[in-house]
Structure 1
Amino acid sequence: MRLTIVCIALFANYVQSSKVLGFFPAPSISHQRIFQPIWKELSLRGHEVTVITPDILNDLSLVNLTEIDVRIGYKVFEDLKLLEKMKSKNFVLIKILNIFHDIQRVMSSELQHEAVKKLIENDAKYFDVVLLQTSHLFPLVYGFGTKFSAPVIGISSMDLYLHAHDAVGNPTHPLVAPDIMLNLHGKLGFFDKISSVLHNILYRILYYWYALPMADKVARKHFGENIPYLGDVEKNMSLILTTVNPIIHPIRPNVPNMIEINQIHIREKKPLPKDLQDYLDSAPEGVVYFSLGSNVKSANISSEIRNIIIEALSELPYKVLWKWETDYLPNQPYNVLTRKWIPQQDVLGHPNIKVFITQGGLQSIEEAICNEVPMVGLPYITDQPYNVRKLEEFGIAIGLNPGTMTKDQFKRAILEVAGNKKYKERVREAKAILTDQPMKGVEKAVWWIEYVIRHKGAKHLRSPAADLSFFEYFLVDVALFFVFCALLLTYVVVKMIRWCRCRSKKGLTKEKAN
């Protein structure tokens, strides 16, 4: 009987097995950590998964997972000095435009990979669903949706840009939910409102009239001239899975096919390496953990900022564990231990960690909250300034500008967060909110992906707003009609008043003549 049940279960898993393609082009391990658990879980559930990524799992136990390693994207990314452009003080839209051009070049290099070209040229190949990274200005990814004519699901590793919301008809009110790149939230001042409204208009002009047509031209070089317009593929996405959470991101009304997932990369704790375990255990007074993530590396910060940080850390009454990516830290204080790589989730789970100094990346923030560790934020790029400001509002962090902070400011911030119990209490409240959900992020993501596979898409969840143009959605045509009516009415009224005055004058003239 038991053998029969097992056979039935295996057969059910077999018949439900589907072919899944994923293209996640961002050369950034912090972004790839969001996507990796999804394609791993799909593989474990029996689906035949093919993934194009610059960060492969290389897990031999996943026998039905094929990974195409496009790590060439990292070299192009570094050659273009994309991080420096992200940190620049340029106008937001100029910065976005520069990022778009460079990301296009990164993806083009990945699409020229021999295995990727072979996949694209294989007309016999088919997939039941295509998963695409849609966090940033990546319209070129939709080329895979045109090639394989399968339902498309967008997955983001951070909050979405405006065009992704447009793709599924999700509301993008400029005051309720300003674009994350503007670093605006809470009650907006008058000029903040003007800035947000103008950004909503100008961003869409940039995306729909420039970025999308340019990406479409590039896509035709890789996928052929007969593909549909990329904008049409984007508008027909079945779902978007977005990694937002209620602590950082604004509460907004979402359409049914905008699915919020979070903590997708949070895993069970693993034992620490012995040297780190001994170091943390030997510090009952507390340890400050310092990491600027995988993109903004500590070793790349300027010598001026590095000296300020080192001086402040040397005066702390705590030990410090610092993720420093080279073999040598100049003027390394006696109380500081450096490592090129640190198992962050496991370190944050140690009871002696008092403060986490972070760049404010979304994944790092979720790891800190889940381990009840308050933070000091040193934001540099993209959504990091916004994230840190939200942490300050919630009362679980102090944020500083790394370009202008002094040694005393940095030191005071660390001592305040480490010594004031209110930060620990607030981060516990944040954890209670963040983790109180019916299912884990990975389970939720995979359930919705399989939902799309079962129904061969999700057109029944599609909002009619997705089919409206920008002018229709914001009632520009209706507003212009009312303006025209008002002008016409004004014109008629003015003409009537003039006619009446003219008649009145003629009547008075006749009376005087008589």
Structure 2
Amino acid sequence: MSNYNIIISPQSLSDMRTMGVPQIISVVLLLLVITADDSQSAKILGLFPFPARSHLISITALMKELARRGHQVTVVSSFPSPPMANYTDIIVKDTFPEKDSINFFEFFDEGMFSWLKIVFFWHMGLSTCERALQVPDIQKLIHDQNLDFDVIIFENFISECFYGFVHKLKIPVINISPNSALLAMGNPVGNTYNPSYMPDSMLGYKDHMTFKERIANTLITLLTSVGRRIMYLPRQDALIRKYFEDSSFPGIAVLEPNASLYLLNTHISIGFPQPYTPNTIEVGGMHIKDPKPLPKDLQKIMDEAEHGVIYFSLGSNVRSSDMPKEMLQVFLDVFSKLKQRVLWKWEKDSLPGQPSNVQLGKWLPQSDILAHPNLRLFITHGGLLSTQEAIYRGVPLLAIPVMGEQKSNAERAKESGYALMLDWRNITSESLNSAVDELINNPRYRENVQHLSVLFRDRQQPPLERAVYWVEYVLRHNGAPHLRSAALDLYWYQFYLLDVLAVVLGVVLLGLTGSGLTCWTIYRVFFQKKKSNPVTKSKKMK
């Protein structure tokens, strides 16, 4: 942390002699406030190179708040932010240009085997990492011998090659997750991932799984964990040694357990209960702010909608304009017959067959739209940020998940009673119209989400305040090593008590073997000897 020297000149002392007691007290208090504020000022490096705007929304809210509180914040990301004091952007562009050409409807059309796309994400991580490390501004950071930061905040989501900065700077690191607890990010701080009741987010299971689901969940968890350690991380290690020109890099698997803090973008009211280590902090919803006034055209539409408004958006990665033709026609048919106005996030300039009650927009202020009292229904892909915003605003959902953890989010929303879910592969005019009608006209969905909204908001402190507090806690306590779990110092066989189990089984087997031999010896000595006596006697008689 940095400190400033406050210099009081002789002229200043002379001026103070002419002041009254109240003025002098005010000056002293002002100096104390200035020095107190500055003593907490830190230099923070944020590493978020993964090219997903949805991931950055919640993370940027935290980084900007830290800057507003006087910290010097430097952020590495794929998307620039509006200029502000104490905030420096380093942009890594075109790290995965193939993403823009991917039609996620086609890419994830694989039913139950869609979890295998983890291999694609690993490839994406390696590709984006290598391109990002070649960016001139990143190379400048890598080779800067005077690089000075107090803490790193890192989205450890298929961007592991940036652990090179953790090794270079040797300062505390805070992991931040764009969604709920991920195996790859949770284990490094000591959280126990139990597949018997913690479903993999790619499968869409609930926490109460059937026997068949527990088998699948366990196998996938094991394959993902082992595959990441054997196939993926060594290749990320190689990138670090190459671009940081550091052959002494010990490996990501060695550095990951040293994370000081793990910030989770979730909350117990919308997730599955599970145990966390003390340095795992839930901060879900920290990107949600008080609603801003809508643009005049949108405000007019929503104010004048006699029967209310339906908002339709599939997020920042899945594009509505990539829908299969049959699916698109279903939405056009159903929307054209609705009494409600529809706001549709559509990525192209026009929509052939656009109904008169549908308003298009390439970008729409989603959170502010959801806050309008005339908003009746949110048709969504089930992304975590969208789900959190809908819960916070008390809006029912029609979820149409496409990829990743979206199905898990949709299943939880459905189970909580404020949503219905449709499979985009089998969607029909009848199923869509029925779901929309049910969600709009049955009040229980809005009642359920408004109850959940109360739970989501009911916290000791707002999530953004909580996140800032814990970042500054790590700064105040030099990485807060007292929060670190001893589980991180155990080998895997020690963690699962396999060595203890082996000894116990060995003692039991030894005892059983010894008892068996003793019984056999007694049997031989006493019983077999008695049986042999008649034979001996008969021989003597002959």
TM-score by length of 1: 0.94
Q: Which deviates further from its counterpart, 386-395 or 274-283?
A: 274-283
Q: 1:371 — aligned with what? A: 393
Which one of 430, 434, 445 corresponds to residue 412 of structure 1?
434
SS at match of 2:425: coil
Unaligned runs of 5+ in 1: none
Retained in 2: the 8 A contact 1:247–1:390?
Answer: no
Is 1:425 the counterpart of 2:447? The answer is yes
1:29 aligned partner: 53
Q: Which residue of 1 aligns with 2:358?
A: 336
SS in 1 for 2:222: helix
Q: Aligned pair 1:141/2:174, yes or no?
A: no
**Are residue 181 (structure 1) and residue 202 (structure 2) matched?**
yes
Would you say the 8 A contact 2:152–2:171 is kept in 1?
yes
Aligned-partner SS, 1:296: coil
Tell me the CA shift for residue 497 of structure 1.
5.9
The structure number with the bigger radius of gyration is: 2
**1:109-188 equivalences in 2 (<5 Å):** 109-134=131-156, 136-188=157-209
Aligned to 1:42: 66
**1:513 and 2:525 aligned:** no
Q: 1:500 to 1:74 in 2, by over 3 A?
A: same
Q: Secondary structure at the match of 2:317?
A: coil
Letter in 2 for 1:334: S
Contact 1:289 1:322 in 2 (8 A): yes
Specify the code of the residue in structure 2 equivalent to 1:372: G
2:39 corresponding residue in structure 1: 15
Query: What displacement does 1:257 show?
Result: 0.4
Counterpart of 2:409? 387
Q: Distance in 1 between matches of 2:158 and 2:52?
A: 15
| CA shift for structure 1 position 348 | 0.8
Deviation track 1:385-408 (CA, whole Å, cap 9, x = no partner) reads 000000011101001111112211
Q: Does structure 1 residue 354 correspond to structure 2 residue 345?
A: no
CA 1:429–1:467 in 2, change beyond 3 Å: closer, same or farther? same
When residues 363 and 226 of structure 1 are mapped into structure 2, their CA distance, relative to the original with a 3 A threshold, is same
Q: Which amino acid aligns with 1:35?
A: I
Query: 1:293-304, aligned counterparts within 5 Å?
Result: 293-304=315-326
Shifted more, 450-459 versus 222-231: the winner is: 222-231
CA contact (8 A) 1:85 1:98 kept: no
Aligned match of 1:254 in 276, 280, 286?
276
What is the rounded CA distance, in whole Å, between the counterparts of 2:51 and 2:30 in structure 1?
41
Larger mean CA deviation between 188-197 and 394-403 belongs to: 188-197
Q: Distance in 2 between matches of 1:97 and 1:493?
A: 53
Deviation at 1:82, TM superposition (A): 7.9
CA contact (8 A) 1:322 1:336 kept: yes
- Asked if the contact 1:162–1:172 (Cα under 8 Å) also holds between the matched residues in 2, the reply is yes
1:44-123 maps to which residues of 2 (within 5 A)? 44-59=68-83, 62-78=84-100, 85=107, 88-89=110-111, 91=113, 94-123=116-145
Q: Is the 8 A contact 1:77 1:106 kept in 2?
A: no
1:403, 1:488 → 2: CA distance? 59
Q: Distance in 1 between matches of 2:391 and 2:496?
A: 38
CA 1:488–1:404 in 2, change beyond 3 Å: closer, same or farther?
A: farther
Classify the secondary structure of the residue corresponding to 2:202. helix
Match of 2:11 in 1: none
SS state of the match for residue 329, structure 1?
coil
Query: Partner residue of 1:480?
Result: 502
Shift of the alpha carbon at 1:67? 0.6
Structure 1 pair 82/160, CA: closer, same or farther in 2 (3 Å)? farther
Q: In the TM superposition, what is the alpha-carbon distance from 1:265 to its structure 2 partner?
A: 0.7
Read off the aligned partner of 1:216 and give its amino acid letter: D
Q: How does 1:180-219 map to 2 (within 5 A)?
A: 180-219=201-240
* Structure 2 counterpart of 1:237, one-letter code: A
> After alignment, is 420-429 or 192-201 more displaced?
192-201
1 CA distance for matches of 2:317 and 2:158?
Answer: 18
Paired residues of 1:169 and 1:467 also in contact (CA < 8 A): no
Residue pair 1:320, 1:335 contacting (<8 A) in 2 also = yes
| Distance in 1 separating the partners of 2:235 and 2:320 | 35
- Measured after TM superposition, the shift of residue 501 of structure 1 is 6.0
The answer to whether structure 1 residue 461 and structure 2 residue 483 are counterparts is: yes
For residues 232-283 of structure 1, the C-alpha deviation after alignment (integer angstroms, 9 at most, x for no partner) is 2111000010111123311112111001101111012111111111111221
Q: What is the identity percentage for the equivalent residue pairs of Structure 1 and Structure 2? A: 34
CA distance in 2, matches of 1:112, 1:197: 38
Check conservation: 1:77, 1:102, Cα contact below 8 A: no
Report the 3-state secondary structure (helix = DSSP H, G, I; strand = E; otherwise coil) of the residue aligned with 1:199: helix
Separation (CA, whole Å) in 1 of partners of 2:104 and 2:332:
27
Measured against aligned partners, the alpha-carbon deviations of 1:160-186 in whole angstroms (never above 9, x if no partner) come to: 221322211112222232332232224
Cα 1:130–1:445 change in 2 (3 A) is: same
Bigger shift: residues 303-312 or 423-432: 303-312
SS at 1:182 equivalent:
coil
**Distance change (3 Å), C-alpha of 1:91 and 1:472:** farther
> Distance in 2 between the 1:431 and 1:94 partners?
34
Report the CA distance shift for 1:261/1:117 in structure 2 as closer, same or farther (over 3 A). Answer: same
CA contact (8 A) 1:54 1:74 kept: no
Question: C-alpha displacement at 1:499, in angstroms?
Answer: 5.3
Task: Provide the rounded CA distance (Å) in 1 between the counterparts of 2:533 and 2:113.
Answer: 68
Which residue of 1 is the match for residue 241 of structure 2? 220
Superposed CA RMSD in Å reads 2.1
Task: Report the equivalent of 1:234.
Answer: 256
Of 326-335 and 385-394, deviating more is: 326-335
Change (3 A) 1:342 1:248: same
**Matches of 1:326 and 1:501 in 2, distance apart?**
90
| Contact 1:82–1:99, Cα closer than 8 Å, also in 2 | no
The change in CA–CA distance for 1:472 and 1:336 in structure 2 (over 3 A counts) is: same
Distance 1:290 1:82, change over 3 A: closer
Checking the alignment, whether the CA contact within 8 Å between 1:312 and 1:411 is kept in structure 2 is yes
Aligned residues: 511
What secondary structure is seen at the aligned counterpart in 2 of 1:12?
helix
Matched residue SS, 2:59:
helix
Tell me by how many angstroms 1:371 deviates. Answer: 1.3
Q: Deviations over 1:78-128 (max 9, x none)?
A: 367788655644746632122112112112211211011001100111210
Q: Distance in 2 between matches of 1:461 and 1:150?
A: 16
Shift of 1:334: 2.2
